[in-house]
Structure formats: structure tokens, C-alpha cells
Chain A
Amino acid sequence: MLRLLDRLEEVMIGTLIAGATLLIFVSVVHRYSLGIIVDMYSYARAHDIAWAAPALRSTFMSVKSINLVWAQELCIYMFVWMAKFGAAYGVRTGIHVGIDVLINRLPPERRKIMILFGLACGAFFTGVIAVLGANFVHHMYYASSISPDLEIQMWIVYLAVPTGSALMCFRFLQVAFAFARTGELPHHDHGHVDGIEDDADIEAVEAAPVTPDDTGIATGSDRLPKDR
């Protein structure tokens, strides 16, 4: 069951980022293809290429009939959903950065307490936001406002806040329990670079497969809590 949730989370955020990228790409191409077809059309007219003009004209009409003004709005909504669920995934993999210089110098017992305090604060904050968000969505549901371009119900869009925060809260609790039991913390090592061995030479590096767990800024590996 938990496995399924983990998997769903990963597939969802991966799909959302890919989808949003493609969406913006298509809308930009679409915007400029109109101009290019017009140029070709006027060229054909000017040079009396009789056969090309009607064909270009109909292409222009069909391209024009595709309306993509909603692309930008949809892209934003996709990223909002990605951000909320990705943040929950980030708790599980320990990617959220904090200032750990100070607490790492504490004796282990005190350090453990501080870390648990931090995780509890995380759970508390996300929990509060989930409740506030749910309340807000509830109001939106009755206000029945719709988005400007897509014309979908806004409460569906805002649903990302309570659901994402609730999931995040759950993840914080999950990590906190795992840490209390095993003392292991998911830690995203921003400095770790995969494929580099002690005796690395250039061929080995070049042949290295795509580093699997790398994340945005750097490559790194995630140690997950053991009780997944």
C-alpha cells in the first residue's frame, strides 16, 4: 500500500514536469508556425505559385483553429501540483535543505532531540496548512469561481494545497518515526557525485551510466528510511 503511494507520487511528479515542458514547447512552436505559414503564403502569392497558395491557406486555417491560450495557465497549475507533491517526495528523500552546521556539533543525544523537534515542527506546519487549505477549498467550492482561460472550477486547482500538505505531513511523521526507531535519516547528499571512484580515470567517468539519483543542482544519492 505504501509502496503504491510512493510509486504514484514519483510517476505523478515526473509526468507533470514532462507534460508541462512539452506543453510550452508545443505552444511556442504553434505561435511561430502561424507566422511562417503566412510568410510562405505571401511568397507563393507574389511568385504566382498557384498550387501552393490554397494548400497553405487551408493549413493556416487548421493551425489557427487550434487555440492554445490556455497553455500557460495549465502549465502553472501543473507546476503547482508538481511542487506540492514533489515537496512531499522531497521529505521522504531528505532533499529539503536546512542549516545543520550547528546541530551536527551537538552530542548525539541532544542532536537526536533537535532533529525530532525539527521533524515535528515540519509535521505541525504542514498539518496546519492542510487544515487551512481544506477550509479554503471548502469556501471556494461554494463560491464556484472558475479559472480565466481553462474555465475549470478553481477549487479543483486549489485542492493541491490541502492534499499536498497532508501528504507532506504524513511523510514528516513517517520520517520522524523511522528516525526515532532506527536513528537513520533520509539524507540527500548534495556533494555526492555518482560514477566517481577513488581510482577514477577519464574513461570510467565517460562510460558511467546516467547517474540515477541525481537531483537538479547536483548528483547525489538518497538513503531512504528502511521501513518502506
Chain B
Amino acid sequence: MDALLIFVGLIALMLTGMPISIALGLTVLTFLFTMTQVPIDTVALKLFTGIEKFEIMAIPFFILAGNFLTHGGVARRMINFATAMVGHWHGGLGLGGVIACALFAAVSGSSPATVVAIGSVILPAMVKQGFPKQFGAGVITTSGALGILIPPSIVMVMYAVATSGMQAVGPDGQPVSSASVGELFMAGVVPGLMLAGFLAFTTWNRARRFGYPRLPKASLRERWEAFRKAAWGLILIVIVIGGIYTGIFTPTEAAAMSAVYAFVIAVFVYKDMKLRDVPRVLLSSASMSAMLLYIITNAVLFSFLMTHENIPQALGNWMVETGLPWWGFLIVVNILLLAAGNFMEPSSIVLIMAPILFPVAVRLGIDPVHFGIMIVVNMEVGMCHPPVGLNLYVASGITKMGITELTVAVWPWLLTMLVFLVLVTYVPWISLALPHALGM
């Protein structure tokens, strides 16, 4: 009964259009004031301790790094490198775009940032070469979604934060520990590369059927030259993923290192960015981070209320009693998350849903890491379709196409992503093979 009240209240408040963070906080406050005896002072304490974890600090660092990379010319050189490698195949620049998105995703933790970085350079070039606008927009909107699947990923950090320290028990009654940021990052590598392959195949296939232009084959010298110029950005992939894997850095430290590194190459090596532009980048990164941290604070408050009312546990018991098999549960989760993707952006969904669904999933014997990757792929799909798909809006900002037109343009790739989603959901091996092989 209480659970129903909480959710109805939350949804009603959210639909009035107020910020999600405020809706969350207000729901908790109202409930605590009227229905429970929880000392209200703990709310103030929770507001502080909610973000008092070092893991969360990876988010502002990765946002900062991503901003430096986007404006620092790293994306442009990655595109040159990618097109030099695959531009002569069917799909030409489009195929290059997919690869460039995958490369950029390996240094950036956000998908819209990937769409901006790659799309703003490659889309005008594609139109100029004679590709239909729709084709380019479809490729980049969906490939940009790789940003949150290929590590580093802000959404994965959110998932780790949202589920950390939860009291979850497996089907055998043994406590199961939640997934760490490092594990999730490693688990994202294989699915990320696979999805990049899928999207590249769709691109290649459509380009072949419609006879879109190809680029002349680059000579070995040109390829080497493109690689050499892109190398500064590519090294960052090694620093972040290698650093976390070998344990040289914690994910947060890796994020801070990559922010400093990105600053140095943007300003001093590539010189695409002037020193006087730096304060603006700092300010915009800070305000975006603050927005996300504010949602986290209030989501922590909300999940505190959930745990206090024993809602995840009750839901878990109920699920087990109904005898829903694990694959049935995953279908429900997929539908729930895809539906939520119609209204909210990924961070909020993960922060609200993960703490509720996680104990149930673990109870049914689903691996926490696999579950996390599945949620991330769901979020990717949500970013590419209306009404709130952020990637779509960014792509429409670049191409000046309407959202409706873009939605039609995106569908072949979106379909590919849905197929991939089913695959990731039901083949845990895809997500778990690498972390297990690495002994995580």
C-alpha cells in the first residue's frame, strides 16, 4: 500500500514537469513527514552523505575529460584515422563514422557527447559527398549510443553507485556482492565491440544495396600518417582501460588522469583549443556534473526510503512466490526500462530503477554484472528514440532535421540494436566472458 502511494506520488509530481531531482526529494519528504517516525534530521545528513563516495567523483571527471576531448580536436583525428582504415569499403564515410564513434566511446563516458563530437564533423562531410542526410543521421545517432556501453561509461558508474552496499541474497540464500565500476567497465568491452560490429554491418549492407559513395583506398603511408596524428587520443584508451585493469588507478583516478591528459593534448599538443576557452569548458562541465550529482543525492534519499519500507525485498519475495522464471523477469525488466526510456533520461532511470530491481534480479540468480550491462544496453535504445532520446535531439541539432524525420531515418539501426538487446539479455556469456577471464 505504502509502495503504491510512493510511486503514484512520484509519478504525479514528475508529470508536472518539475525537475526529476526535485520530484524525488519532495516525494521522500512528504512521505517521511506524514507517514513515518524517521527523524527528519537524517534527511539532511543523507543529502550530504549521498554523494560522499569517491567512486561517484568519477562522473564529474569523465564529463570534464569528455568536454576537453570533444572540443580539442581528438574526435576529428579519430575520424580521419577510421576513414583511412575502412573508407574504401561499402558505406565509406558512414562506416568510418561507426568506427570513429566506437573509438571515441572508448575515451568518453557519455553518448550524446559522442554524437556531438563525431557527428558535428562527419555529418556535414557525408552530405557533401552525396550521402542522403537520413543515412548519416541514422548511423551517427545510433553509433553514438556506444558511448555508454564501451568503457568508460557514466551510466555504469551510476549503476555501481546505485546498487553498492545493497543487501542482496542469491537464490541459495548466500549474500551476493554488487558489481564494482571496474568489473562493469571490463564487462562492457565485448558487448560494445559486438554492437559496433552489428551497426557497422547494417551500415555496410544498406550502403551496398543503395550504392552510396565510397572513398578511394588510402595508401599505407596515409594510414600511418592518420594513425600517428590520432595516436595522442588513442593512447588515452590504453591509459583508462589498462590503468583500471592493472590496478594502477581506481576508476575515479583514471577519470581524473584522463581529464588532465585531455586538457594537455587539447591545449598544448593539438592546439585546437585556446587557454582562454578553458574556463568556459570548466563551467559547463561543472554545471552538468552538479545537475547529475543533484539527481544522485535525491535518488539516494529515495532509495533510502525504499529500503526503509522494505520495498525491494517485498518485491523480490513476491516475484519468487509467483514463480516467475529468470527469463520472464528479464522480459519484464526490458519492457519496463524501454517504457521508462520514453520519459526519462538514463541517469535518472538507473538511479531510480536499479536499487529496486537489483535485489530481485540477484534473488533470481542473475549476475549483477550481466544485469548492469543489460540495463546499459536498454538505456542506449532509449537514447535513440523519441520523445526524450537525447541522441536524437543532438543529431537533429546538427543536421537540422525534424525529430519525426530522424525517427524514420534511425529505424534500421534501432532494429539492429533491439536484436542485440535480446542477445545481451539472454546470453550472459557476452558480458561475463571478459571479466571472468580476467579473474574479476
Q: Looking at the assembled complex, report how far the CB atom of B55 sits from the nearest CB atom of chain A, in whole angstroms.
A: 10
Which of chain A's residues have a CB closer than 8 A to the CB of B397? 189, 191-193, 196, 218
Contact A13 B16 (CB under 8 A): no
Q: Which of B123-139 contact A (CB under 8 A)?
A: 124-125, 128
Which of chain A's residues have a CB closer than 8 A to the CB of B344? 99
Contact B112 A217 (CB under 8 A): yes
A92 to B286, alpha carbons, bound, how many Å? 14
Contact A218 B289 (CB under 8 A): no
A115 to B57, alpha carbons, bound, how many Å? 32
Which of chain B's residues have a CB closer than 8 A to the CB of A215? 284-285, 287-288
Q: Within the complex, which residue of A28, A80, A83, A118 is in contact with B253, where a contact is CB–CB below 8 Å?
A: A28
With contact pairs A79-B293, A118-B17, A210-B71 given, residues A202 and B121 touching in the complex (Cβ less than 8 Å): yes
B226 within 8 A of A: no
A201 to B122, alpha carbons, bound, how many Å? 10
A101 within 8 A of B: yes
Total interface residues on B, using CB and 8 Å?
A: 89
Which of chain A's residues have a CB closer than 8 A to the CB of B393? 190-191, 218
Grouping DSSP codes into helix (H, G, I), strand (E, B) and loop, the B interface class, with mixed when no group exceeds half, is helix
Which of chain A's residues have a CB closer than 8 A to the CB of B290? 13, 82-87, 89-90
B342: nearest residue on chain A (CB-CB)?
A101
B398 within 8 A of A: yes
A166 within 8 A of B: no
The 6 closest A-B pairs by CB, nearest first: A216-B288, A86-B290, A191-B393, A118-B18, A96-B19, A24-B256
With contact pairs A90-B291, A99-B20 given, residues A202 and B124 touching in the complex (Cβ less than 8 Å): yes
The 0/1 profile, CB within 8 Å of B marked 1, for residues 13-48 of chain A is: 111111011101100100010000000000000000
| Binding-face segment, B45-53, B82-90, B156-164, B199-207 | B45-53
Q: Which of B342-373 contact A (CB under 8 A)?
A: 343-345, 348
Which of chain A's residues have a CB closer than 8 A to the CB of B259? 21, 25
A103 within 8 A of B: yes
Among A80, A135, A198, max chain B CB count under 10 A is at: A80
Which of chain A's residues have a CB closer than 8 A to the CB of B17? 98-100, 102-104, 114-115, 118
Contact B286 A86 (CB under 8 A): yes
Q: Within the complex, which residue of B21, B248, B277, B289 is in contact with A209, where a contact is CB–CB below 8 Å?
A: B277
A1 within 8 A of B: no
A103: nearest residue on chain B (CB-CB)?
B17
Among B22, B54, B76, max chain A CB count under 10 A is at: B22
Q: Which of B247-285 contact A (CB under 8 A)?
A: 248-249, 252-253, 256-257, 259-260, 273-274, 277, 279-285
Q: Looking at the assembled complex, report how far the CB atom of A141 sits from the nearest CB atom of chain B, in whole angstroms.
A: 14
Contact A21 B64 (CB under 8 A): yes
Which of chain B's residues have a CB closer than 8 A to the CB of A210? 71, 273-274, 277, 280-281
Contact A80 B51 (CB under 8 A): yes
CB within 8 Å of A: which residues of B?
13-23, 25-26, 29, 40-41, 43-45, 47-48, 51-54, 56-57, 60-61, 63-64, 66-67, 70-71, 76, 110, 112-113, 115-116, 119-121, 124-125, 128, 248-249, 252-253, 256-257, 259-260, 273-274, 277, 279-294, 297, 343-345, 348, 387-388, 390, 392-394, 396-398, 400
A194 to B422, alpha carbons, bound, how many Å? 36
A14-B279, A83-B297 known; 13 new pairs, CB 8 Å cut-off, are A17-B289, A21-B259, A84-B290, A86-B287, A87-B291, A102-B17, A126-B22, A133-B47, A195-B120, A205-B120, A209-B277, A213-B284, A216-B288
A97 within 8 A of B: yes
A95 to B44, alpha carbons, bound, how many Å? 24
Among B43, B290, B388, B393, max chain A CB count under 10 A is at: B290
A217 to B18, alpha carbons, bound, how many Å? 20
Contact B293 A83 (CB under 8 A): yes
Q: Looking at the assembled complex, report how far the CB atom of B83 sits from the nearest CB atom of chain A, in whole angstroms.
A: 12
Contact B113 A132 (CB under 8 A): no
A158 to B286, alpha carbons, bound, how many Å? 20
Contact A80 B289 (CB under 8 A): no
Contact A18 B282 (CB under 8 A): yes
A218: nearest residue on chain B (CB-CB)?
B112
Q: Within the complex, which residue of A72, A84, A129 is in contact with B44, where a contact is CB–CB below 8 Å?
A: A129
